[in-house]
Structure formats: structure tokens, C-alpha cells
């Protein structure tokens, strides 16, 4: 594990504008920088970077955070990968924390395997470009496929010589251990002989989301009918075929930006599409699509367009994959190519503009595709048609979202010329008989949907203002929490005549202390779970640290809180048009002191909570003649007096509705 000292050094050294400037063209805007969003297509800049605060905010997508968060969002690094990237960028030596012997062994084995596959990638690529056999066979093959030199380098394509042990000898000579050559599947050890697994093949390195070499796909170029046309690395500690997608490293940014992923079958399909200008494409490497592969895409987008050639096997594979995609809550379309064409051949002879147009015009919604495909099989056979309808409803039942299910039921009804009620009944039968796990989930989701829908109505009506007030509390803590301000305290004291009267005293507090004491005094806990979590985290941080620096604080912030904190910190960078005053939500004015701002926000929050108590008391008062409502009415009057005192202090009339 990376030591805390290294992580602290990385955060202290990394400049957010420098890190983001490697990926986004930034222009100075006052004390900040702005640029076009790397997460969506736009013409007007909505992406802001604040060097002073050490954070960024993309107003088009709602994303934000520090330099590490940007790398995790943009380049889809894990947290350790982002730290390592920044350490390398700023020449910071990485210090590892002490691990158990078992942890060290596992880490060392995996890291050694990665080092071997990285060496293999470079060896095969160099052989392709600089060795006569590689140039004559491998390079010529790729050029005949229409791949440019830039494309060959982008995908680090290579060639493994025909010699039995050429690669293995080279690797051993460079100091790599035979155990790791064998465990990665690059070398086969048979009776003390070393055999290169991929000899005589062109090489396709398979990379992880962050670019590490997991394994290889290799295509034979000879006419040996006994040998497999394509050969993949065997399963290992670093390579699991069902959990990787070819091209994901090159495609990840385009997928996120286009909010769509094209899914193909083969390596050359990916490469040809990429070279044609469509970069948001990945391949399942010839295997049946798996849930793990779908979840990998789900990290980048909710939309998948499956591209298959028009043969029966390809179409059947697309049907099997559709249900898996739907189960993951994703949107899926299917596009087939003319007879005799596949994505590779079609992209090779089609211009970028025509290719984009073809995909737009021929990508069918899954329900339309499935209906058109299976209807050709059913034709005029009513039994087969009934089975087809049941099959389509079964697919619809796998969709987690209730609204989408209802829309697809309507679409299926229209296409199949059958009543919605029949389809709904079929759906209900599937659920009742537990034909599939998807049916069970549908029943649970329907109940949950109604509960959530009702809860959302209540939330919108009752806690909207409170939400904004609590957000203001967090904003004050972030911006002014460690500042020392003078506050007024109203104390009850006896005068010379012995009468009790209000006495105003001025006392200095740190802002966070004043807020904490005020909420403690009123026994108030923030209602919103997210704000409550951030509030507790902030207060604990202030109690444990003498000074507050936002960059340091963000280092210790949980990812769940990071987005909301960034939104609050960058709120000054976005012009918003809200009737805050009309909703009794205080907005700090330039001529307003921090202490005044804090006091008014807390008073307004207290007013809102007290007003809620009054409403509850009113609701409890019975209209029956003999009912004793005296206690409730007396309490309501007392609380109303408290509301009046709030109004006097705030200098305006407080009422629930304006």
C-alpha cells in the first residue's frame, strides 16, 4: 500500500490546473481557469478550475473534486492508480507501507506478472517494426488490413517470431523469471523445453482500463488447419477473459463523452472503427458477453449499441447478450450490417460521415430488433408467435426501471399487434410462477417504486427550504469555519431592582464553534443524511486540527461527500437565479459580516423548525366540543412568540408562505 506520507506529498505538490491542463485546454478567467467540458459536448465553457481552492467543477455534468478525483473521473483510474500517476508526473518517490508476508507475496507476484507482460508487449511491437521477419509478415499483414502506422502504434500491435523459443530466451536473458513467463501463459514449459505460446502470430495486447497489459490475443497467419485461428492468454492472476474488454483503454474517454459504447466481437473490428474516427468501441474478444464486461461499460455509460454482422450465429449471440445488458439496468440497441459485411469490412470502405449516418439510421431498439428477427422464424405459426411474445415479455421483465418496462410493454403491444393487458397479464404470470429471478425482482421493484414515489412527493413539499438552509450551514463551515468572529449573546440577568432583563454580551468564537454550540443548544441534528455526514466530518476535523486548509481537508474526505463539497465550494463560479429571499434563505451580501451571516442563517433554520412544531400542534387540536386543547393551544402561542422574537432579530416578518 502507498504510505500516507507519499499521499500527503502528492496532494501538496500537485497543482490542479497543471494536472487538468494535460487533458483540457484551459483559459484564464480572473483568478480561475475555464474550458470546455471533457465529459460532454458543448460549445460554451462550463468547466471551471479554481487553483486557490485546489478543485474543479463541471457544471454541465455536475462532476467535481480535486486533482485525484479528476483522474478517477476522466481517465477512470482507481485511487491508487491516480496517486501513482501524480507521483510519476511530479517525480515523487513512492513509499510503500509495511505489509504482511502474505500481502507482499501476492503483490510481488502480480507486479512481476505485469512487468513480464509489459516487456512482452514491447518485444512483440519492436519485432513487428524493426525485425525483418516481423516487417515482412506481421507488418505487411496489418498494412493489408488497412491499418496506418499511427493505428499500429496506438494499439501497440506486434508480431511473435516463428522460432520455438525466441521470446522466452530474450526474456530470460533480460532477467525475467521463468515462473512468471509460465504463469502469464507467454511460455509453455514441456519436459525442460521452452516453447513460445504465440510463435508465428500477430499480437494484440489486451489492456486494462488504466492501460496495464493483462494478456494477449494472437492471430495465426499460416494455413495450419489444426491450429486455432485466434489464441488468447490463459486465465491467470491478472487476466480473466470474462472481465476484460479489448480496446477499453483507448475507448474509455470517448465512451464517457459520447455517452454510448459500441460493442463488437473482434480485435480488428475495434481497430478499424477507431481508425475511421469512431473511438467509443470495444470488443468482447470473441467470447459470449458476461455481466462483468457489461459492468465495466456501465462505469462509463448507460448506453450500449451492439454491432454484429448479419449471420445467424452473430444474431443469436446478440439476443443472448441483450437480456444480460437489460438486467444491469442499461439501455441497449442493436445494429446489423449488410449481408457479407462485418464491422471491420464495412468501416474500412465507408467514410466517417457515412458510417455515423448508417449507425444512427440502422440502430434498432432491442424490442424492435428482437421482434423483427424472431418474427421471421415464427411467420404464420401462432404457437411460435405466442412463444415469441412470451420471450419478449421475459426480456422486458429483466429491466429494473418500472417506467422503462411500461414503455417497452406499450412498444411491444404496438409491434406485435396485441393488447397491453394481455402482455401485462403475461408479465404477472411470469412473476407469480417465479419463472425467473428477474420476475421476482420486478415484483419487489413495483412495490418499492410506489413507496419511493410517495416519499419523494413528501420530500419536495416539506423539506425543500430546510435542504437549502442545511446546505448553507455546510457552506459556512467550509468557507469561514476557522475564522474568529464576534457574536452577540443574549443573557438573562437581574438588574439593580432585581428584575430579570435581557443583556447583550459580545464574545469571540470560531465560526465552527458558534454553529456547533448553537445546534447543540437547540438539540438540532441536520435532517439530510448527506449533509449530516459532511457536518459531522467537518466538526470532527475542526476539533482535531488547529488550522483548516481546503486542499488538506479534501484529502481526507470520503468520495461520497466529495461531489457535494465541491458543488458548494464552486457555487460562486456559477450564476444562479433563485428567489432565495422569498424562501427565507440567507445569501451573504458583500457588506454583510460573517457573524451576521452565520447568526441569520441559524435563526432562520430555528424559525423553520419551530414553525414545523407549530403546524404539528395545530394539526393535533381537536374540533370536538368537549375536547381539551388548552395545552396544545398554549404551546402554540408560546412558540408563536418565539417566531416573533426571531422576526425582530432578523428585522423582517417570518411567515410560512409568501
- Over residues 477-520, the pLDDT tens digits come to 888 888 888 887 765 555 566 555 666 778 888 888 888 887 77
> Does the structure show a pLDDT above 50 at 460?
no
Contact 363, 305 (CB under 8 A): yes
User: What local confidence, expressed as pLDDT, does residue 529 receive?
Assistant: 86
The whole-angstrom distance between residue 411's C-alpha and the CA centroid of its chain comes to 30
Q: Which of 168-172, 294-298, 428-432 has the highest mean pLDDT?
A: 168-172
User: What local confidence, expressed as pLDDT, does residue 655 receive?
Assistant: 54
What's this model's pTM, rounded to 2 decimal places?
0.61
Average pLDDT over residues 412-431: 80
Neighbours of 499 (CB within 10 A): 8
| 434: confidence class by pLDDT, cuts 50, 70, 90 | very low
Q: Are strands 47-50 and 55-58 parallel, antiparallel or unpaired?
A: antiparallel
> Does the structure show a pLDDT above 50 at 347?
yes
- 354 vs 361: CA distance, rounded Å: 10
Contact 205, 156 (CB under 8 A): yes
Average pLDDT over residues 398-416: 82
- Give the percent of the chain with pLDDT over 70: 80
Average pLDDT over residues 339-353: 92
**Looking at per-residue confidence, does 424 or 360 come out higher?**
360
Q: Which of 33-37, 167-171, 509-513, 609-613 has the highest mean pLDDT?
A: 167-171
pLDDT in tens, 519-558: 776 666 788 888 888 888 888 888 877 778 777 787 767 7
| 456: confidence class by pLDDT, cuts 50, 70, 90 | very low
Q: What are residue 207's DSSP bridge partners? A: 213
| 140: confidence class by pLDDT, cuts 50, 70, 90 | very high
Rounded to the nearest 10 degrees, the angle between the axes of helix 382-397 and helix 312-327 is 40
326 CB-contact burial (10 Å; exposed 0-12 / middle 13-18 / buried 19+): buried
Q: What are residue 332's DSSP bridge partners? A: 304
- Of 57-71, 450-464, 521-535, 559-573, minimum mean pLDDT range: 450-464
Q: Where are the alpha helices (DSSP H) in 545-593?
A: 550-555, 559-569
List, in order, residues 6 or more apart from 152 with CB less than 8 Å away: 128, 129, 139, 142
- 620 vs 191: CA distance, rounded Å: 89
Residue 566's region, left for phi above 0, alpha for psi from -120 to 50, else beta, is alpha
- 148 vs 348: CA distance, rounded Å: 12
3-state secondary structure at position 262: strand
> Does the structure show a pLDDT above 70 at 80?
yes
CATH second-level architecture of 4-89?
Alpha-Beta Complex (3.90)
Angle, alpha carbons 268-273-274 (nearest 5°): 95
What is the DSSP-derived secondary structure letter of residue 96?
B
248-441 belongs to which CATH class?
A: alpha beta
- 107 vs 238: CA distance, rounded Å: 11
User: What local confidence, expressed as pLDDT, does residue 122 receive?
Assistant: 96
> Does the structure show a pLDDT above 90 at 273?
yes
Average pLDDT over residues 3-24: 86
List, in order, residues 6 or more apart from 275 with CB less than 8 Å away: 146, 147, 148, 151, 347
Average pLDDT over residues 640-647: 68
pLDDT in tens, 294-318: 988 887 888 999 998 766 555 665 6
User: What local confidence, expressed as pLDDT, does residue 649 receive?
Assistant: 64
| 185: confidence class by pLDDT, cuts 50, 70, 90 | very high
Neighbours of 165 (CB within 10 A): 17
| 614: confidence class by pLDDT, cuts 50, 70, 90 | confident
| 449: confidence class by pLDDT, cuts 50, 70, 90 | very low
Over its C-alpha atoms, the chain yields an Rg (Å, rounded) of: 32
Q: pLDDT averaged over the chain?
A: 80
User: What local confidence, expressed as pLDDT, does residue 409 receive?
Assistant: 86
> Does the structure show a pLDDT above 50 at 440?
no
Q: Are strands 64-65 and 261-264 parallel, antiparallel or unpaired?
A: unpaired
**Looking at per-residue confidence, does 211 or 282 come out higher?**
282
- 288 vs 76: CA distance, rounded Å: 25
- 646 vs 557: CA distance, rounded Å: 35
Neighbours of 423 (CB within 10 A): 21
> Does the structure show a pLDDT above 50 at 430?
yes
pLDDT in tens, 205-236: 999 887 889 999 999 987 777 778 889 999 99
Average pLDDT over residues 239-252: 91
CATH second-level architecture of 101-239?
Alpha-Beta Complex (3.90)
List, in order, residues 6 or more apart from 494 with CB less than 8 Å away: 500, 501
> Does the structure show a pLDDT above 50 at 442?
no
What is the DSSP-derived secondary structure letter of residue 246?
B
User: What local confidence, expressed as pLDDT, does residue 100 receive?
Assistant: 63
- What is the SS3 assignment for 395-411? HHHCCCCHHHHHHHHHH
User: What local confidence, expressed as pLDDT, does residue 268 receive?
Assistant: 95
User: What local confidence, expressed as pLDDT, does residue 264 receive?
Assistant: 92
| 579: confidence class by pLDDT, cuts 50, 70, 90 | very low
DSSP code per residue over 182-201 = HHTTSEEEETTEEEETTTTE
- Of 158-167, 175-184, 279-288, 429-438, minimum mean pLDDT range: 429-438
List, in order, residues 6 or more apart from 207 with CB less than 8 Å away: 213, 214, 248, 249, 250
Amino acid at each position: 500500500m502507498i504510505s500516507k506520507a507519499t499521499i500527503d506529498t502528492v496532494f501538496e505538490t500537485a497543482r490542479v490546473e497543471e494536472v487538468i491542463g494535460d487533458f483540457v485546454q484551459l483559459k484564464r478567467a480572473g483568478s480561475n481557469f475555464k474550458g470546455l467540458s471533457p465529459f460532454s459536448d458543448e460549445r460554451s465553457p462550463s468547466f471551471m478550475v479554481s487553483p486557490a481552492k485546489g478543485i474543479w467543477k463541471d457544471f454541465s455534468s455536475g462532476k467535481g473534486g480535486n486533482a485525484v478525483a479528476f483522474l478517477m473521473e476522466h481517465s477512470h483510474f482507481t485511487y491508487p492508480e491516480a496517486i501513482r500517476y501524480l507521483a510519476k508526473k511530479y517525480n515523487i518517490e513512492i513509499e510503500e507501507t509495511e505489509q504482511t508476508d502474505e500481502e507482499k507475496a501476492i503483490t510481488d507476484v502480480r507486479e512481476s506478472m505485469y512487468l513480464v507482460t509489459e516487456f512482452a508487449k514491447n518485444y512483440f511491437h519492436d519485432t513487428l517494426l524493426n525485425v525483418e521477419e516481423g516487417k515482412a509478415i506481421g507488418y505487411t499483414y496489418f498494412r493489408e488490413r488497412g491499418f496506418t502506422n499511427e493505428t499500429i502504434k496506438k494499439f501497440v500491435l506486434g508480431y511473435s517470431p516463428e522460432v520455438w523459443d525466441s521470446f522466452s530466451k530474450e526474456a530470460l536473458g533480460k532477467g525475467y523469471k521463468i515462473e512468471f513467463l509460465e504463469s502469464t501463459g507467454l511460455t509453455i514449459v514441456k519436459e525442460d523445453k521452452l516453447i513460445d505460446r504465440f510463435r508465428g502470430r500477430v499480437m494484440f495486447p489486451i489492456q486494462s482500463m488504466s492501460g496495464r497489459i493483462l494478456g494477449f490475443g494472437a492471430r495465426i497467419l499460416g494455413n495450419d488447419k489444426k491450429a486455432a485461428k485466434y489464441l488468447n492468454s490463459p486465465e491467470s492472476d491478472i487476466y480473466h477473459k470474462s472481465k476484460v474488454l479489448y480496446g477499453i483503454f483507448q475507448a474509455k474517454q470517448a465512451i464517457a463523452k459520447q455517452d454510448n459504447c459500441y460493442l463488437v466481437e473482434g480485435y480488428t473490428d475495434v481497430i478499424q472503427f477507431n481508425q475511421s474516427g469512431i473511438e467509443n468501441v470495444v470488443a468482447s474478444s470473441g467470447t459470449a458477453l458476461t455481466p462483468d464486461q457489461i459492468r465495466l461499460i456501465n462505469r462509463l455509460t448507460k448506453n450500449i449499441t451492439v454491432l454484429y454482422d448479419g449471420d445467424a450465429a452473430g444474431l443469436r449471440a446478440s439476443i443472448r447478450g441483450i437480456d444480460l445488458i437489460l438486467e444491469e439496468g442499461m439501455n441497449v440497441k442493436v445494429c446489423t450490417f449488410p449481408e457479407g459485411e462485418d464491422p471491420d469490412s464495412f468501416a474500412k470502405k465507408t467514410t466517417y460521415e457515412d458510417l455515423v449516418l448508417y449507425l444512427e439510421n440502422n440502430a434498432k431498439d432491442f424490442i424492435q430488433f428482437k421482434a423483427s428477427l424472431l418474427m421471421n422464424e415464427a411467420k404464420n405459426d401462432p404457437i411460435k408467435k405466442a412463444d415469441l411474445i412470451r420471450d419478449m415479455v421475459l426480456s422486458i421483465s429483466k429491466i429494473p426501471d418500472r417506467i422503462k418496462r411500461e414503455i417497452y410493454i406499450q412498444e411491444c403491444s404496438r409491434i406485435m399487434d396485441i393488447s397491453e393487458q394481455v402482455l401485462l397479464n403475461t408479465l404477472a404470470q411470469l412473476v407469480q410462477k417465479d419463472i425467473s429471478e428477474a420476475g421476482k425482482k420486478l415484483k419487489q421493484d413495483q412495490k418499492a417504486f410506489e413507496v419511493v414515489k410517495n416519499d419523494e412527493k413528501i420530500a419536495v413539499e416539506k423539506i425543500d427550504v430546510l435542504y437549502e438552509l442545511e446546505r448553507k450551514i455546510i457552506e459556512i463551515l467550509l468557507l469561514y469555519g476557522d475564522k474568529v468572529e464576534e457574536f452577540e449573546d443574549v443573557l438573562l440577568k437581574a438588574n439593580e431592582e432585581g428584575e430579570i432583563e435581557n443583556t447583550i454580551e459580545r464574545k469571540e468564537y470560531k465560526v465552527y464553534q458558534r454553529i456547533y454550540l448553537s445546534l447543540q443548544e437547540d438539540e438540532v441534528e441536520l435532517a439530510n443524511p448527506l449533509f449530516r455526514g459532511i457536518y459531522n466530518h467537518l466538526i470532527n476535523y475542526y476539533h482535531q486540527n488547529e488550522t483548516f486548509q481546503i486542499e488538506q481537508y479534501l484529502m481526507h474526505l470520503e468520495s461520497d461527500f466529495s461531489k457535494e463539497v465541491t458543488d458548494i465550494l464552486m457555487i460562486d463560479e456559477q450564476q444562479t437565479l433563485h428567489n432565495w429571499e422569498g424562501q427565507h434563505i440567507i445569501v451573504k451580501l458583500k457588506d454583510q459580516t460573517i457573524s451576521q451571516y452565520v447568526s441569520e442563517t441559524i435563526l432562520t433554520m430555528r424559525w423553520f423548525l419551530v414553525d414545523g412544531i407549530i403546524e404539528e400542534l395545530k394539526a393535533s387540536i381537536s374540533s370536538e366540543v368537549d375536547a381539551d386543547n388548552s395545552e396544545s393551544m398554549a404551546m402554540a402561542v408560546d412558540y408563536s412568540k418565539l417566531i416573533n422574537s426571531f422576526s425582530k432579530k432578523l428585522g423582517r416578518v417570518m411567515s410560512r408562505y409568501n
